[in-house]
Amino acid sequence: MKKDLGVNPYLFPMPVLMIATYGDQDVVDVMNMAWGGICAENMVSLNIGEDHKTSENIKKRGAFTLSIADIPHIEAADFFGIATGNKMADKFERSGLTAVKSEKVDAPIVEEFPLTLECRVVEDRTEVYGHHVIREIVGVLADESVLDEKGKVDPKKLNTFVFDQFQNGYYAIGEKVGQAWHTGMPLMRE
């Protein structure tokens, strides 16, 4: 029997996205968020609270980078979800991570994160549920250490984690359990 849990944002897994922007005087700000993802072949959709520094920075600069954090940098990634750039001017410096300017968009790239999408704003709206942003992916950068012999990202080498909205935990991912568009083929038989 199933139990009614009410109305909650319960999906699993949820991504752990690192959204990096520049604020005034090119101050680097990074936010940890789960409410976003790929919404088209070359588009990203984010829903950010209107009061976040990241939201303000995106409106001013029209760009951000979206990175996937890895387990070796989980402490900094979680810190980016705890601290707010509105109250902590040295938030990024406290993390001990480093950033360089993207060559494609007006946003920083956190060098320690293994995979980064460079994004520019296509649509920016304030909705009842928050600041909704649609971005075009204009570049993808990956550390060579996470690529396989064919030059493609190897999820096992990413060494990343996902967010659990049920109990607010982080879980490691990486074990391959099937092949998309193949594992279910036996059910296609007539």
Structural domains for the chain: 17-188 (2.30.110.10)
CA distance 125 to 133: 6
- pLDDT band at 51, cuts 50/70/90? confident
Residue 190 has pLDDT above 70, yes or no: no
CA distance 79 to 8: 24
Dihedral sign for Cα 32, 38, 44, 45, please: negative
Tokens linked to 92: 């990024």
Taking only the tens place, the pLDDT of each residue in 103-135 is 999 999 999 999 999 999 888 888 777 778 888
Average pLDDT, the chain: 92
**Are the C-beta atoms of residues 129 and 35 closer than 8 Å to each other?**
no
In the block, residue with structure tokens 């520094």: 53
CA distance 35 to 2: 26
- pLDDT attached to residue 10: 86
Helices (H), 105-190: 155-158
Residue 46 has pLDDT above 90, yes or no: no
**The pTM is what?**
0.92
% of the chain surpassing 70 pLDDT: 99
- Burial class of residue 48 in the structure, from the number of CB atoms within 10 Å of its CB (0-12 exposed, 13-18 middle, 19+ buried): buried
For residue 81, the tally of other CB atoms under 10 A from its CB is 15
- pLDDT attached to residue 107: 98
- pLDDT band at 14, cuts 50/70/90? confident
Produce one character per residue of 171-189: b if its CB has 16 or more CB atoms within 10 Å, e if not: eeeeeeeeeeeeeeeeeee
